[in-house]
Amino acid sequence: QVQLVESGGGLVQAGGSLRLSCAASGRTFSSAAMAWFRQALGKEREFVAVISGSGDNTYYADSVKGRFTISRDNAKNTVYLQMESLKPEDTAVYYCALTVVYWRIVRASECAYWGQGTQVTVSS
């Protein structure tokens, strides 16, 4: 059993930055990749970024590439999403999840555990 808790969301102006955290508790496998997804009101949940279990490999959605950075600290069982140059279209609830895919876009159906999400609102 794994529990994931996201934090760090909030209201920020366009062009600003924010760092999200996802803390894992319970049984966690060091080989598991960790992914970030987001879901805007009325839209499907979409992939944002993923990082391999070791932290050596990352993959980003085209919409955030160059602006967001995913990282992890396995000693703290935590994954981060550093968000920069935020745009109003980044407004969504952001979720973290465990997966085994790290070399391409991750599908939501490929994730086994999810947090409750944290709201990010970017004003223009």
Neighbours of 101 (CB within 10 A): 16
DSSP three-state, residue 112: coil
pLDDT above 90: residue 81: yes
Residue with tokens 């952001």: 94
- Which phi and psi (to 5°) does residue 75 adopt? -65, -30
- What tokens were used for 106? 């991750």
pLDDT of 27 reads: 75
Query: Which of 45, 47, 17, 18 lies closest to 34 in space, CA to CA?
Result: 47
d(C-alpha 1, C-alpha 118), whole Å = 21
| Span 8-66, pLDDT tens digits | 999 999 999 999 999 998 776 667 999 999 999 999 999 999 999 999 999 999 999 99
- What tokens were used for 35? 């992914």
pLDDT of 59 reads: 98
- What tokens were used for 114? 């999810």
Averaged pLDDT, 95-114: 96
pLDDT of 26 reads: 79
pLDDT of 1 reads: 80
